[in-house]
């Protein structure tokens, strides 16, 4: 993997890349409003569940499958994975989140529009980026974005948000390693409260985020 490709991956997953990631909270805004997430400890628990047993783990499986299909230049399989990723969205807002970011990412690169993890995985494979490295970076970006959303909704500062991200790094690396050898049969989520939060967020009156 070249340094140039690694820099490209960092750019894709940075706040500067025009996908509008800052506009989504993945249901976190509703969880804060409901009192389920209220401080550094509960934020860490919430994000850890997403990484190890929830939506981010599922996105890692989809990412790995899409990377492998793109690396094999199997466009038909890649299209099937994209359809599956869209169908697995548990709410209208989570579907919007994955589709809108994926479409914005594809528009910036001039690639076919696909759900967020599939779009990034396909581009990463095309650049020759190692799967495990790309997976870890993708998961880290998801956690960082949610930690940033938490700073705007919970009375915590940068220090606490950074501490949560640092604490989750071992989980991120472990799931990235596991997902590298995963298949679509490994898809599944046990973070039901997060899914419920995303559904309830649709009817929340005062909102900062689109999801």
Query: What CATH number did the domain enclosing 116 receive?
Result: 1.10.4190.10
185 inside domain: yes
- What confidence tens digit (pLDDT) does each residue in 8-32 have? 999 999 999 999 999 999 999 999 9
32 inside domain: no
The confidence score (pLDDT) of residue 1 equals 65
Residue 131 has pLDDT above 70, yes or no: yes
Dihedral angle of Cα 54, 185, 133, 10, to the nearest 10 degrees: -60
190 inside domain: yes
The confidence score (pLDDT) of residue 122 equals 97
34 inside domain: no
What is the tally of structural domains in the chain?
Answer: 1
81 inside domain: yes
- What confidence tens digit (pLDDT) does each residue in 157-195 have? 999 999 999 999 999 999 999 999 999 999 998 999 999
What range defines the domain where residue 124 resides? 3-13+40-201
């Amino acid at each position: 993997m070249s340094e140039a490709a690694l820099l490209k991956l960092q750019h894709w997953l940075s706040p500067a890349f025009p996908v509008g990631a800052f506009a989504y909270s993945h249901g976190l805004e509703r969880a804060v409003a409901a009192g389920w997430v209220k401080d550094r400890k509960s934020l860490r628990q919430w994000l850890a569940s997403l990484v190890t047993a929830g939506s981010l783990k599922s996105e890692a499986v989809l990412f790995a499958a899409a990377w492998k299909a793109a690396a094999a230049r199997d466009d038909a399989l890649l299209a099937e994975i994209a359809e599956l990723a869209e169908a697995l969205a548990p709410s209208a807002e989570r579907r919007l989140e994955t589709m809108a970011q994926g479409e914005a990412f594809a528009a910036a690169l001039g690639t076919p529009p696909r759900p967020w993890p599939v779009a990034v995985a396909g581009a990463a494979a095309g650049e020759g980026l190692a799967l495990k490295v790309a997976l870890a970076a993708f998961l880290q970006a998801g956690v960082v974005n949610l930690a940033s959303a938490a700073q705007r909704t919970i009375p915590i500062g940068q220090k606490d948000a950074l501490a949560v991200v640092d604490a989750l790094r071992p989980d991120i690396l472990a799931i990235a390693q596991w997902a590298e050898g995963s298949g679509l049969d490994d898809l599944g989520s046990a973070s039901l409260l997060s899914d419920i939060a995303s559904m309830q967020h649709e009817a929340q009156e005062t909102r900062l985020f689109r999801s």
